[in-house]
Amino acid sequence: MKRVLFAERRLPHYRVSLLESVREKLGARGVAFDFIHGDPSPAELVRQDEGQLLWALRMRQTRYALGDRLVWQPFDVDGYDLVIVGQENRLLYNHWLCRPWRRFDLAFFGHGMNFAARHTNTLRERFKRFTTRQADWWFAYTALSKTIVEQVGFAPQRITVVNNATDTSTLRAQLASVSNAELEALRSGRHLTPGKTGLFLGSLYADKGLELLLDAAAIVHAADPQFSLVIVGDGPARDVVANAAATMPGVHWLGALRGRDKALAMAASDFMLMPGAVGLSIVDGFAGGLPLLCTQSPGHGPEIAYLQPGQNGALTAPTSAAFAAAISQLLQAPDLLGHWRENARVDGLRLSVEAMAERFAGGIEDALSASQRRPG
């Protein structure tokens, strides 16, 4: 039986269903699949987004240094045919796994570049392009990630596009279970007007563009008092958001929500507002039929490839005035909002954890079939 190890720095809750599904699919195909993870950084603990997986292995230690810019997480790879790891520069042990004399195939799971980098020719980015070519296989988050990996000279036939996603089937079921009474209670309690409610969904930290979001919300609310901004999430910038909710009309902070509570907040909203870094939240939004409004700011994850401006959302200049103008335009065009919502819903149907797991498992089989190494 072939043995595969997938190692991640930590285990966020949105990865649990993917890992369960991949393990089940590979087990049925005669492939043993293990997952090992370490501990989150102290700053990440505030997010309260850690997952639980009974069969997961734990790394012996997770040490952070230089403000979490370096991470040391050694783990055992003996006996595995394929080891899958992230490519982040700060994951020091993963670079040791790139050694040419390894007796296992090494695959990277990620982007091929740092999407938050403002310059692409720095020493860090040149090193990342070098390590991109050291793997035997690539699991690219999106088609955009695949293009980036190909551009540095990696063979396209050794790249699997997984279309990074979350457990949207569960989310859709939760959305469908929201009753009219629950919806009306939330709307009346928070003075939310149907067709006039924007939702921010994600962790609260600087790269999310929270100040721009709040400035734009103030502009829009001054012109249309029926507009409301609902913020769902927690993190280091919670004080900024809490203060805004306490002092700004039309701003509501609900904290970090999961399950049906998150689904209820989504059901009461009409579109997503994410001016800063966009990641997996776009998948959740589309599952709820919520188009996305974001800005051309640096730091977007590869999931930004799912956005089609003018079809399922908008991409504006990174200013509060431009962002506010896009919101106001949508508030004044209910037919356009309805069209975008339907497009988002349809696009969301192809972005599921089930489809991602099937691509991931298939890619693992392809990587094992192409292997020229023997496990140590």
- Residue among 181, 173, 227, 167 nearest 352 (CA): 167
Q: Are strands 228-232 and 251-255 parallel, antiparallel or unpaired?
A: parallel
Q: Which pLDDT score, from 0 to 100, does residue 373 have?
A: 66
Asked whether the predicted pLDDT for residue 214 surpasses 70, the reply is yes
The side-by-side arrangement of strands in the sheet containing 82-85 is 57-58, 31-37, 2-8, 82-85, 105-110, 137-140, 159-161
pLDDT, greater one: 87 or 373: 87
Q: Which pLDDT score, from 0 to 100, does residue 348 have?
A: 92
Alpha helices in the chain (DSSP H): 16-28, 42-45, 92-96, 123-132, 143-151, 168-177, 180-190, 210-223, 238-247, 259-267, 281-287, 320-331, 334-349, 353-369
Q: Which pLDDT score, from 0 to 100, does residue 166 have?
A: 84
Residues 346-371, mean pLDDT to the nearest whole number: 94
Determine contact, residues 142/163, Cβ cutoff 8 Å.
Answer: yes
- Residue among 232, 226, 195, 191 nearest 213 (CA): 232
Asked whether the predicted pLDDT for residue 11 surpasses 70, the reply is yes
Determine contact, residues 354/169, Cβ cutoff 8 Å.
Answer: yes
Q: Rounded to an integer, what distance in angstroms lies between the CA atom of residue 109 and that of residue 91? A: 13
Of all residues in the chain, what percent carry a pLDDT higher than 70? Answer: 97
Q: Which pLDDT score, from 0 to 100, does residue 15 have?
A: 93
Asked whether the predicted pLDDT for residue 198 surpasses 60, the reply is yes
pLDDT (tens digit per residue) in 23-39:
999 999 999 999 999 99
Residues 116-138, mean pLDDT to the nearest whole number: 81
Q: Which pLDDT score, from 0 to 100, does residue 298 have?
A: 79
Determine contact, residues 150/159, Cβ cutoff 8 Å.
Answer: yes
Q: Rounded to an integer, what distance in angstroms lies between the CA atom of residue 158 and that of residue 224? A: 52
Quote the tokens at residue 150.
């190909």
Q: Which pLDDT score, from 0 to 100, does residue 116 have?
A: 58
Q: Rounded to an integer, what distance in angstroms lies between the CA atom of residue 329 and that of residue 354? A: 36
Asked whether the predicted pLDDT for residue 114 surpasses 80, the reply is no
**Average per-residue pLDDT for the chain:** 93
Determine contact, residues 258/225, Cβ cutoff 8 Å.
Answer: no
pLDDT, greater one: 170 or 188: 188
Q: In Å, what is the CA distance from 225 to each residue of 4, 249, 269, 323, 341?
A: 55, 8, 16, 17, 23
- Residue among 322, 303, 299, 321 nearest 312 (CA): 303
Q: Which amino acid is at 322?
A: A
Q: Which pLDDT score, from 0 to 100, does residue 371 have?
A: 87
Asked whether the predicted pLDDT for residue 374 surpasses 70, the reply is no
Enumerate the β-bridge partners of residue 63: 72
For 191, left (φ over 0), alpha (ψ -120 to 50), or beta? left
Other beta carbons less than 10 A from residue 315's beta carbon? 19
Q: Give the largest Cα separation in the chain, rounded.
A: 66
Q: Rounded to an integer, what distance in angstroms lies between the CA atom of residue 114 and that of residue 233? A: 24
pLDDT (tens digit per residue) in 292-349:
999 998 788 889 999 999 999 999 999 999 999 999 999 999 999 999 999 999 999 8
pLDDT (tens digit per residue) in 236-289:
999 999 999 999 999 999 999 988 999 999 999 999 999 998 988 899 999 999
Domains and CATH numbers, the chain: 2-166+353-369 (3.40.50.2000), 168-349 (3.40.50.2000)
User: 49 pLDDT band (50/70/90 cuts)?
Assistant: confident
Determine contact, residues 117/96, Cβ cutoff 8 Å.
Answer: no
Q: Which amino acid is at 71?
A: V
Quote the tokens at residue 163.
């279309």
Q: Which pLDDT score, from 0 to 100, does residue 241 have?
A: 96
Q: Which pLDDT score, from 0 to 100, does residue 115 have?
A: 57
Asked whether the predicted pLDDT for residue 141 surpasses 80, the reply is yes
Residues 126-130, mean pLDDT to the nearest whole number: 87
Residues 185-191, mean pLDDT to the nearest whole number: 96
Determine contact, residues 204/234, Cβ cutoff 8 Å.
Answer: yes
Asked whether the predicted pLDDT for residue 148 surpasses 80, the reply is yes
Three-state DSSP state, 80: coil
Which residue in this structure is represented by tokens 């087990």? 27
Three-state DSSP state, 290: coil
Of all residues in the chain, what percent carry a pLDDT higher than 90? Answer: 78
Residues 169-183, mean pLDDT to the nearest whole number: 94
Q: Which pLDDT score, from 0 to 100, does residue 117 have?
A: 52
